[in-house]
Structures are given as structure tokens and as C-alpha cells.
Amino acid sequence: MKKSIICLFLLFCFLGSQICYANLEDNEVIDLEAIKNETIPTVANVSEEPKFNARIVLAFDRASKRILYEKNGLKQVPMASTTKIMTSIVVLENANLNDVVTIEKKAAGIGGSRLGLKINDKITVHDLLYGLMLRSGNDAAVALAIHVGGSVEGFAKLMNEKAQEMGLVNSHFVTPHGLDEEAHYTTAYELACMADYALEIPKFKEIVGCKSYNITINGQSRVITNTNELLGNLSGVYGVKTGFTNGAGRCLVTACKRNDLDIITVVLGADTKKIRTQDSIKLIEYIYKEYEVIDLQKIVEEQFENWKLLNQKRIYINKAKTSGIKMQMQELQFQKMAVKKAQKDRISIEIHCLYYLEAPVEKNEIIGNVKIQLEEENIGVYPIVLQEQIKKKEIQDYLLEFLSLAP
């Protein structure tokens, strides 16, 4: 009898451990094709903005770093496993991918979604990153945190320092995996900024764009698959990360590029995986239906050159040694930007400049600015500077001028 009870107990523990190894972010079965067939035509055939069921939704233009659409996109909220975007950034910038990590008890014992690592397993940083981003392994997150930061707390410090360096003022990190903690939060906008930054790292882009990958643990190969349901199933999608906790709800950060339009969408606080998927598809299809890319630099340069033809000779520099000046506009922060198709002819450019200057004037001195607006939105103000130094006349210059004027 006692032996039977012990056997049942051991069997229960074994099954329990296997359940822990299951990826909790992917346990809701959805019919993706049915969702696409229902959602895409609806967005295509309806003129108004789609209705979103998730609590937080945002679309971000990677070219101009602007928000194209948002619903509660600036609100501080839990982020679940989308945290692992920042985890990857810190690891990729601070670790050797070939380092072999020995799994400690703290990593092996973490709950939630797991890669399935056990104490004393050996795996490279490189393969841990795949386990982190494809299978959303919390055990991989803790193992990487200990390896890079010395501890979870030490790694969180690195994450917060990186956030500060990136100018993320509404994000704070406590863990490398994103399990619910009161002081662990971000906004949809800042999460999009993190993804945008991370996608500039070639290895990160390679990892999150991978549907499946063969990792090695203790010399044994194992194939893992990506939890991102849209990757490979929706035109243009090339990343980024899923997430789920009770506090954060279902989350999905998606990178998508079609022709020149490269966007990141963020859906947080969805009650089900189906809603997360529907809202992500709705938002992506809405953006590609309503927006197009314009060459802002070409538009501004053409207007600035036309303005110079009319105004450059009107600028008077008192006591200047030479006549005429050369000026240029500061380079734009971005060349192209996404705008609503209905707004593409509503870019306004105002050019302001000083028409009287006193020599000497140094090279690169600001003498005006170019203000760019899209209807009521301020796109940017860019200085107009001198390309060459303007020297002041000296006595001999006045003398030569006088002699040249003498009869």
C-alpha cells in the first residue's frame, strides 16, 4: 500500500514537472486561418477605424519613430514576456554568444513558460537566446540574467540602465522574464521603441524571425518552435514577441514590413489569444490600408532650394569682407515617414531666416530654421546654418574699396 502511494506521488511529481515545462503562452488553440479570413476582409471593406477589444493597442512607424495609432499607448502597464526584448538587448550587448552556461537551481526552478532546463544542464548563451525568444523560456531568462548580471537583481539593474540610456522614462524592470511584479512595467510606446532598437541588432532580428531552431542542451539536439502565431502566417511579419501573465493579459509585439512601410504593432491586455491575434491583424491591415510612405527629405529639400533662389541674395551682412553667403539646412532625423493617404498633400513647411547679420559670422552659426508640420502635428524644426565663415572687413579692405570707387 505504502509503495503504491509512493509510486503515485512520484508519478504526480513527474507529470507536474512536465506540465511546468509546457509553454503557458501557447496553450490556447486558435484557428488562425479562420481569424484571418474573418478579419482581413472586414478591415479592407470598412471605412472607419476598426474596433479593438484589447485594452492597449499601438502602431509605430520605424522610419520616423512616430506613433501612427494608439489606444492607451502611453499608459504604464505590466508587459509579461515582452520583457524579454530588453533582456535580449542587454545580453547581446554584454555577453559572448559562445559562452557555455551551467544551469543553476534558481533558473531550473522558475515557473511559467519554460524551455525545460534542469540543474547542471549545459547550454550556450546563443541557444539560450533562442530558447528565450522562440519558446519564451523563463528558465532561459534567469540563466542569462545570472550569467550576465551575476544575479537577477544585478541584471535588472543593467536593464534599467539601458532603458535610461534609451530615454525610456516610463519603463522599469525587476525581472528578466516579466512575471507579474508591481514595479515591473512599461508602455506600449516604449515597448515599440525597445523592439525598434533591438531589431537594429542583426542577431536579434535573425532570432525573432526564426520559426524553428535546433538548440543543443548537454550535447543533445532539440528542435524548438516560435510561439508567435503571426510569423510566417501574415504577409510581411518578421518578429517579435508574445507574452502572457494574469496581470498583463495576452500580449503581442509584431514587426511587419510591406514595400517601404515598416511598422511595429503592440497589443497588450487582451483577454484571450484569439483577441490578441485578431487585434494585431486588424491593426496591421488598417495601417497598410490607410497609410503610405512619403519621401519627406525630397519634399523639404525642393522647397528649401526654391526658397534660397528667391531669398539668399536678400540677406545682408554688414561689414562683410566678401559678398554672398552659402547656407544649408541641418539633415533631417529621418528621410521617409508614413502618413495617412488623405494627409500626404498636407505637409506644410515654414522657412524663417535672419535678413541682416553683422560680420564676423562663424561657420555653422544658426541663422534661421525650417519648421515642418503635418496638419497640427509638429514633425520637426531644423536649423539653417552658414556653410562658411564670413570675415569682417579690415582697414585695408575699406581702403581698397575706396580706391576702386575713386574716379
CATH of the domain at 350: 2.60.410.10
Q: What is the pLDDT along the chain (407 residues), one digit of tens a residue?
A: 444 444 444 443 433 433 333 345 657 889 999 999 999 999 988 888 899 999 999 999 999 999 999 999 999 999 999 999 999 999 999 999 999 999 999 999 999 999 999 999 999 999 999 999 999 999 999 999 999 999 999 999 999 999 999 999 999 999 999 999 999 999 999 999 999 999 999 999 999 999 999 999 999 999 999 999 999 999 999 999 999 999 999 999 999 999 999 999 999 999 999 999 999 999 999 999 999 999 999 999 999 999 999 999 899 999 888 888 899 999 999 999 999 999 989 999 999 999 999 999 999 999 999 999 999 899 999 999 999 999 887 766 656 665 665 55
299 belongs to a structural domain: no
In a domain, 297, yes or no: no
Told to judge if 151 belongs to the known catalytic residues of this protein, a careful annotator would answer no
**246 & 325 share domain:** no
**Full-prediction pTM beyond 0.85?**
yes
Indicate whether 322 and 257 sit together in one domain. no
Interatomic CA distance for residues 260 and 262, integer angstroms: 6
DSSP assigned state of 221: E
Name residue 225's beta-bridge partners: 212
Same domain? 97 vs 168: yes
State whether 213 and 322 are in the same domain.
Answer: no
Which run of H or E residues covers position 394? none
Of 278, 257, 348, 275, whose CA–CA distance to 63 is shortest? 257
Q: Are residues 257 and 353 in the same domain?
A: no
Cβ neighbour number for residue 139 with a 10 Å cutoff: 29
| 64, 136, 171, 280: the active-site residue | 136
Alpha-carbon span 122 to 142, nearest angstrom = 14
C-alpha cell at 219: 550535447
Q: Are residues 356 and 208 in the same domain?
A: no
Q: What per-residue confidence (pLDDT) applies to 322?
A: 83
248 assigned to some structural domain: yes
Q: Which of 64, 71, 84, 241 is catalytic?
A: 84
Exactly one of 64, 71, 81, 241 is catalytic; which is it?
Answer: 81
CATH (domain of 41): 3.40.710.10
**Measured between alpha carbons, how far is 356 from 343 in angstroms, rounded to an integer?**
36
User: Do 360 and 267 reside in the same domain of the chain?
Assistant: no
First to last CA, the chain: 130
The Cα 30–Cα 188 span in angstroms is 24
d(CA 136, CA 144): 13
pLDDT per position as a tens digit, 159-175: 999 999 999 999 999 99
- Cβ contacts of 277 within 8 Å, gap of 6 or more: 30, 32, 35, 229, 230, 252
Decide the pairing of beta strands 356-358 and 347-353: unpaired
Q: Which domain holds residue 379?
A: 315-405
CA angle centred on 323, ends 322 and 326, rounded to 5°:
100
In a domain, 307, yes or no: no
Is residue 319 located within the same domain as residue 287? Answer: no
Q: Is residue 199 part of a domain?
A: yes
Q: Are 267 and 294 in contact (CB under 8 A)?
A: no
Domain boundary among 244, 259, 291: 291
- 269-327 residue pLDDT tens: 999 999 999 999 999 999 999 999 999 999 999 999 999 999 998 999 998 888 888 99
Give the count of domains, the chain. Answer: 2
Q: Is the residue at 309 inside a domain? A: no
Same domain, 220 and 91: yes
Catalytic residue at 404?
Answer: no
280 and 386 housed in the same domain? no
Smallest Cα–Cα separation from 228: which of 85, 40, 50?
85
Establish whether 212 is a catalytic residue: no
8 Å CB contact between 82 and 269: no
Provide the sign of the torsion angle of the four alpha carbons 26, 68, 183, 248, taken in this order: negative
Domain endpoint, select from 224, 258, 291:
291
Residues 229 and 336 in one domain: no
**What is the DSSP code string of 81-119?**
GGGHHHHHHHHHHHS-TT-EEEPPHHHHT--SS-----T
* 3 state DSSP class of 361: strand
Task: Give how far the C-alpha of residue 355 lies from the chain's centroid of Cα atoms, to the nearest Å.
Answer: 42
Instruction: State the pLDDT at residue 406.
Output: 54
Q: How far apart are CA 284 and CA 397, in angstroms?
A: 66
Residue 42 lies in a domain: yes
Same domain flag for 102 and 213: yes
In a domain, 5, yes or no: no
Instruction: Indicate the residue type of 281.
Output: I
